[in-house]
Amino acid sequence: METNTILDVRDLNTWFYTDEGIVKAVNGVDFSIPESTTVCVVGESGCGKSITAQSILNLVEPPGKIVSGSITYRHNDGREVDIVQLKPKGRDIRAIRGKEISMIFQEPMSSLGPVNKIGDQLVQTMLLHLDIDKDEAVKQSIALLDRVGIPKAASRMDSYSFELSGGMRQRVMIALALSCNSRLLIADEPTTALDVTTQANILDLLKELQTDYSMSVMFITHDLGVVAEIGHEVVVMYLGQVVERASVEEIFERPLHPYTEALMKSIPKLDFDSHEKLSSIRGMVPHPFARPPGCPFSDRCDYCMPEKCLTANPPLEEVRPGHWVRCVKYESMGEV
């Protein structure tokens, strides 16, 4: 593992053992997150982004289970730990959750305790992980609420989540995630449920905080427009697999995988002169039990070559420096 890597996910498999059969929600995912970097994970709904995120904190609940692979977290002092090997309810993983790696969720309306005061939740988290007393925790909580843009922060300590708007709740979630200076923030579609203005504000805040705290961020979204705004690196996921990985510049200049290309075409442009029609991707993400043989994208791909694409799932290959893609179009082509 490279020294500037904070998290390294290798061949991760997280499956759900349902009554109907096994859902391979995450099916051999590889990627890594460097220090002080925002890695965006993109893909349509149902591609396994959230389950990947939950796997990183070992939060997957039955009938789901991490079946194989490794998730190596590298502590500040260089110590490495494989999260997959930790007991999901044990002390070791709990020391990482909220302290080293924190997480914010898509539904700000339901991510805070419904009958708990905002301040209590912040103070509780700080007392759990930091070596400070209650007064200090209260002081830091107020400063933090102020930092994430909550007006009259001190008086908000006694508020309940139902007294706040969606945007304010997401700010509180961000404050909670920052409360113990975690080094990696996982943000699972944190703006999807918000209106456009609020969405922009929250994105600006996250971008600013990432720089200020020089955190690593794993930002999950289905919107490439958001990726362009805040990402440094991009991981494109489809049906539980990584199909393409590269830097933001590279992805936007040279999208290689047909799925990434299709996602690009579906970004709405705020350009009134162009009469280019907004295209959406043909077809739908297949049902988990109706995975096409070979390349998982083959049934929706415009370039599909049946004799090649339907026989085997192509491997993820580095076709340009730092640019990985899983598609037969680039197989054994060397550098593109």
Partner 1 sequence: MGRYIIKRTLMMIPTLVVISIVSFVIIQLPPGDFLTSVVANLEDQGQTVDSATLAALQARYGLGRPVHVQYWRWVSGIILRGDFGRSFRYNRPVADLIWSRLGLTFVISFTTLIFTWVVALPIGVYTAVKQRSVGDYIATFIGFIGLAIPNFLLALVLMYIAFRYFNQSVGGLFSPDMIDAPWSFAKVVDLLNHLWIPVVVLGTAGTAGLIRIMRANLLDELKKTYVMAARARGLSEWTLLRQYPVRVALNPFISTIGWSLPTLVSGATVTAIVLSLPTTGPLLIEALKAQDMFLAAAFIMMLSALTVIGTLVSDILLAIVDPRIKYANRG
Q: In this complex, which beta carbon is closest to ligand SF4, that of residue 228 or of residue 304?
A: 304
Q: Measured from the CB of residue 237, what is the shortest distance to ligand SF4 in angstroms?
A: 14
**Minimum CB–partner distance for residue 49 and Mg ion (Å):** 5
- CB-nearer residue toward ligand ADP: 140 or 221: 221
Q: Contact residues for ligand ADP (CB under 6 A)? A: 16, 18, 23, 25, 43, 45-51, 63-64, 288
Told to check if 304 binds ligand SF4 by CB under 6 A, we report yes
Quick one: what does residue 163 bind among partner 1, ligand SF4, Mg ion, none, with the CB cut-off 5 to 8 Å set by partner type? Answer: partner 1
Q: Is 134 exposed, middle or buried (0-12, 13-18, 19+ CB in 10 A)?
A: exposed
For Mg ion, the closer of residues 50 and 182 by Cβ is 50
Q: Does 32 bind Mg ion (CB under 5 A)?
A: no
Cis, peptide link before residue 63, omega less than 30° from 0:
yes
Q: Which residues contact 50 (CB under 8 A, 6 or more apart)?
A: 106, 188, 189, 220
Q: Whose Cβ is closer to Mg ion: residue 4's or residue 45's? A: 45
CA 259 to chain centre: 18
Query: Do residues 27 and 79 touch, judged by C-beta distance below 8 A?
Result: no
Which one of residues 314, 316, 323, 324 is an interface residue with ligand SF4 (CB under 6 A)?
A: 314
Question: Using CB atoms within 10 A of its CB, is residue 25 exposed (0-12), middle (13-18) or buried (19+)?
Answer: buried
Site string for ligand SF4, 239-278 (x = CB under 6 A): -------------------x--------------------
Residue 265 binds: one of partner 1, ligand ADP, ligand SF4, none (C-beta under 5 to 8 A by kind):
none
Cα–Cα distance measured from residue 95 to residue 91, given in angstroms and rounded to the nearest whole number: 6
Distance between CA 230 and CA 39 in Å, rounded? Answer: 9
Give the C-alpha distances (Å, rounded to integers) separating 238 from 13, 18, 77, 253, 255. Answer: 14, 21, 35, 20, 15
Q: How far apart are the first and last CA of the chain?
A: 27
Binding of ligand SF4 at residue 329 (CB under 6 A)?
yes
Contact 55, 26 (CB under 8 A): yes
- Considering the complex, state which of residue 23 and residue 126 has its C-beta at the smaller distance from ligand ADP: 23
If you ran DSSP here, which 8-state letter would residue 151 be given? T
Contact 25, 238 (CB under 8 A): no
Provide, rounded to whole angstroms, the least separation between the CB of residue 116 and partner 1. Answer: 7
Residues lying near partner 1 in the complex (CB under 8 A): 54, 57, 59, 61, 89, 94-99, 102-103, 105-107, 110-116, 121, 124-125, 128-129, 160, 162-163, 173, 176
**Three-state SS letters, 95-149:** HHECCCEEEECCCCCCCCCCCCEHHHHHHHHHHHHCCCCHHHHHHHHHHHHHHCC
Write out the binding residues for Mg ion, residues 33-62 only, by CB under 5 A: 50
301 binds, among partner 1, ligand ADP, ligand SF4, none (CB under 5 to 8 A by kind): ligand SF4
25 binds ligand SF4 (CB under 6 A): no
Q: Which residues of the chain form contacts with ligand SF4 (CB under 6 A)?
A: 258, 295, 297-298, 301, 303-305, 309, 314, 327-329
Q: Which residues of the chain form contacts with Mg ion (CB under 5 A)?
A: 50
